[in-house]
Amino acid sequence: MKFIKRIKEDWQKVKDMPTKEKWEFFWDYYKIQAICIILIVVLIVQGVVTVANQKEIVFSGFCINCKIGVDEKPFWNGFYETAGIDEETQTVACYSDVQIMPGQTQLNNNTVQRIIASCAVQDVDFIAGDPYAFQVCAYTSQHLLTDLREVLDGETLEKLAGRIYYIDEAIIDVLNAPAGEQVEPDALEYPKDPKDPGPMKKPVPVGIDVSRRKDLQKAYYLDGTIIYVGAVRSTARPELTRQFMEYLLG
């Protein structure tokens, strides 16, 4: 109320002044208030524009030990078209800021915990990585990756012979045993060849070698690297996940 009263009093002082003097008076006494109002308006406008331009994330995943390439679009544009994703209002989130490296226990634990948390809230649909990173994710007690027999048909899986990554569920059983928490993942004896299910006790297909996708390699600086991709078991978008796995085979 005092502020309003002051405005009325000041108006009586300046109403008969020339325009130039009115502006000088206003600037001398109200510049701080004016600047604050302008800043508030600018922030509100920026917030509205940001919200209006924010795209809906309709699919997401982790690309471990990768770097964002010069241009991801050549790889993702094909999937947008295949899956019917509207690029104007929707987007795919590929988190490539995570690493899993041999001998880096703390780093690996932090990354795995982040991935597990994202899977738990159904915020991730796929996991991609080099052989070591994929192995770490595949052999968690939480069983993050889904059985590919629930995603792809038998004929497709037959055609993928030699490209499928199998896990031995017997190892995960060890992790989930009462003393499993004391087992160090690096101390476990993993299959020498994850593409050969023969020697495994309980083989389950959970990943695909997609190294032949040159557009994927270029998108994430993965030239010459073996890349495995698996579907997350807790995905809230199973149909899109199936389409993505099929797209990778193209």
CA angle 12, 16, 19 (to 5 degrees): 115
At residue 244, the pLDDT reads: 94
Give Cβ neighbours of residue 153 (< 8 Å, ≥ 6 apart): none
DSSP 206-218: EEEE-TT-HHHHH
CA distance 76 to 120: 25
User: Angle 238-248/73-83 helices, nearest 10 degrees?
Assistant: 130
Per-residue pLDDT of 196-221, as tens digits, reads 999 999 999 999 999 888 888 877 76
Give me the chain's average pLDDT, please: 80
Find, among 88, 220, 103, 204, the residue nearest to 144 by Cα. Answer: 204
What's the confidence (pLDDT) of residue 186?
66
Q: What is the pLDDT of residues 52-73, one digit of tens each?
A: 346 888 899 998 988 765 577 7
Residue with tokens 């050549």: 74
By the 10 Å C-beta count (0-12 exposed, 13-18 middle, 19+ buried), 123 is classed as: middle
Tokens matching residue 130: 């080099």
Give the whole-angstrom CA distance, residue 247 versus residue 61: 15
Mean of the pLDDT values across residues 178-194? Answer: 72
